[in-house]
Amino acid sequence: MKLRVINIDTVEAATEAFKELKVSPQGIDIMSPKAIHRLIKIAGVDSRAANIIKQEMLSRGGDAAAPWELYKLDERKVDIILMGTLRQFDELCQKLALQPFGLPRLAEGINKALYNYAKSLPTIEVGRFKLDLSARTHVMGVLNITPDSFSDGGRYFGHTTAVDQARQMVLDGADIIDIGGESARPGAEPVTSEEEINRVVPVIKELAGELDVPISIDTYKPEVARRALDAGASIINDISGLRDDKMIELAVERCTPVVIMHMQGTPKDMQLKPSYVDVVAEVADWLDGQAEKAATAGLPRDKILIDPGIGFGKNLEHNLELMRRLSEFRSLGYPVVLGTSRKSFIGTVLDLPVEERIEGTLATIIYGVTQGVSIIRVHDVKEAMRASRMTDAIMGRGHR
């Protein structure tokens, strides 16, 4: 007799495992949802409601962790962590839908989070291109047309060198070229919209008709984004996370995919004293709110991507915590973009300068892919593409 612990994290994987055992189709349907165990944290729920939730989860064989104040049955707000199989959560939500204290709405939220966490990623229409995010991880190559970039020190500031670098990144396997004309390094001074336009628009115009991949404009200024879209860009990558309502209006007007990134503060002051109680919860809640704002304004949800903003208003521990818990962002239902390339938290951990952070960057990329990241934003395209493709293959995606 031989035994081992096996790792199954999706209903589809459980179904295949049971088929190999020649389990009956009816048995597979019954048992597959029982094979997947999830933990869900509910924050700020009425203690009376939390008590009902806990008792209902326990009665179905699941469990719930909650503070002892739960049993005072008053109006205080508590956090609770539910633990159970998909089948148990399904039965729980059916019962909660019949209960008071806002529990029907909570049941909808639980079902939505579980669905989002496991759903297949969309194919995003980006101008004349289609990005099938469910097929494999996509690589976004960074092109900084600035004299003061933290990563390359202005290496591609000239028009010709910028165009040549974009071409090389496509040859190296980039699926998207992300062009920016203002440095977002900590402490960077902003530049005028006119200067930013002068830097990026001529390059976009030259590349848009030539490259067989979409171009993203990395800016938080609506006028720069508009001019870039006119020149041929087809994605807006906004480090301010659509704080300017005019950027939302532009995205809706053009039906343009947007990357909503989280940043505490501005590039000039974001690293002075970043502070959070729960960095993942706060970043996720803010991103969800901004995505909802864009969707309410009329932007299709399948045009929205989110980026937790590693290094933007976060210290070392904040960044590491975001990396550890990357998979939680899948619950929001939007593709996740990860930008860790050459960043200072890697340099701090490894005690290395910018030019020697490629191995550390690849470690974050590989881990990110295993946690469900859809797009990796990188400077070293060839190496990142190889690392992500290999990781995808191990995970059963993108391998022919």
Task: Please state, in angstroms and rounded to a whole number, the distance separating the CA atoms of residues 328 and 28.
Answer: 28
pLDDT at 400: 47
Given 38, 343, 357, 389, the catalytic residue:
343
Pick from 63-72, 108-117, 146-155, 362-371: least confident: 146-155
Q: In this structure, how many other beta carbons lie within 10 angstroms of the beta carbon of residue 240?
A: 20
Q: Quote the tokens at residue 191.
A: 């530049």
Specify the 3-state DSSP secondary structure of 226. helix
Task: Please state, in angstroms and rounded to a whole number, the distance separating the CA atoms of residues 71 and 85.
Answer: 25
Active site residue 377: yes
Burial class (CB in 10 A: 0-12, 13-18, 19+), 376: buried
Sequence-distant (6+) residues with CB within 8 A of 302 are 122, 124
Q: Indicate the angle between helix axes 86-96 and 103-118, nearest 10 degrees.
A: 150
**Whether pLDDT at 147 is above 80:** no
pTM: 0.92
Given 38, 48, 303, 377, the catalytic residue:
377
Task: Please state, in angstroms and rounded to a whole number, the distance separating the CA atoms of residues 344 and 40.
Answer: 32
Task: Please state, for a pLDDT cut of 70, what percent of the chain lies above it.
Answer: 97
pLDDT at 71: 76
pLDDT at 345: 97
Give the model confidence (pLDDT) of 246-259 as tens digits: 999 999 999 999 99
Q: Quote the tokens at residue 25.
A: 């189709």
Q: What are the structural domains, with CATH classification, of the chain? A: 36-118 (3.30.70), 123-394 (3.20.20.20)
Task: Please state, in angstroms and rounded to a whole number, the distance separating the CA atoms of residues 193 and 104.
Answer: 48
